[in-house]
Each structure stands twice: as structure tokens, then as C-alpha cells.
Amino acid sequence: MPHRTRTTYETLIWRGITCRICTTHNWRIDGWTVITLRAPSDVPFPLGVNGYLSHGLEQEKLEAAGGAVAFFRAWADREAESPAFLHALARHRQGDLFKP
């Protein structure tokens, strides 16, 4: 029996930044889920490059994490403590004198 792909959309608001989450269940195989996050590209966000991240995992792991919003929120909270993100955040707050 062929698998049935199902896609849902949700919103994550993380520290005032609104992100869009797309969850595709049973992507290509039963039980495999792909979650995609899009954040504004003009503010630092600890996940992805230029506001985009796509991640695949088993449906059971996503459910155990509390769903896509909870999964990405926990991941962003962990990555927000990284030196790379803290540096990007400091540069963003300071501004760039050479940008028009």
C-alpha cells in the first residue's frame, strides 16, 4: 500500500522572531518526516543559513519532542548559547557602518 504524504504548517515565535514551519509526514517513506523552518533573513537566528533549515527525522522522535514547534524551539534555545550565534547577535545589534 502506498504511503500518504501529509503536510502541515505552523508558526514559531522565538524571542520575538516569527518563523514559519512546514512539516511533511511520510515523505518518501512511511514514518519519515521532513521539517522545514523559514525565519527572516535580516535578523540573526541560531538555526539554518539565511533563515532556512530543512531537517529529516523519524515521526516518533518528532512526536517525543512535542511536535515541530517544540522541536525547533528547543534546538534554537540550545544553539542560541553558541559563540557563533552570540557573535552574530552582537554584530547585528552594533550595526554595520559600511552597509548603505
pLDDT at 3: 67
Residue partners of 25: CB distance under 8 A and separation at least 6: 5, 6, 7, 8, 33, 59
Q: Is position 1 within any domain?
A: no
How does pLDDT run across 13-26, given as a tens digit for each residue? 999 999 999 999 88
pLDDT at 50: 86
Domain that holds residue 47: 6-93
Q: Is position 21 within any domain?
A: yes
Per the structure, how many domains does the chain have?
1
pLDDT at 56: 94
Q: Is position 47 within any domain?
A: yes
pLDDT at 7: 93
Name the residue among 37, 57, 56, 59 with its Cα closest to residue 48.
37
Distance CA 19, CA 48 (A): 12
Name the residue among 25, 11, 16, 27 with its Cα closest to residue 72.
11
Q: Is position 32 within any domain?
A: yes
Residue partners of 59: CB distance under 8 A and separation at least 6: 25, 26, 31, 32, 33
pLDDT at 29: 82
Taking 70 as the pLDDT cut, the residues of the chain under it are 1-3, 99-100
Distance CA 63, CA 43 (A): 29
Q: Is position 53 within any domain?
A: yes
Q: Is position 100 within any domain?
A: no
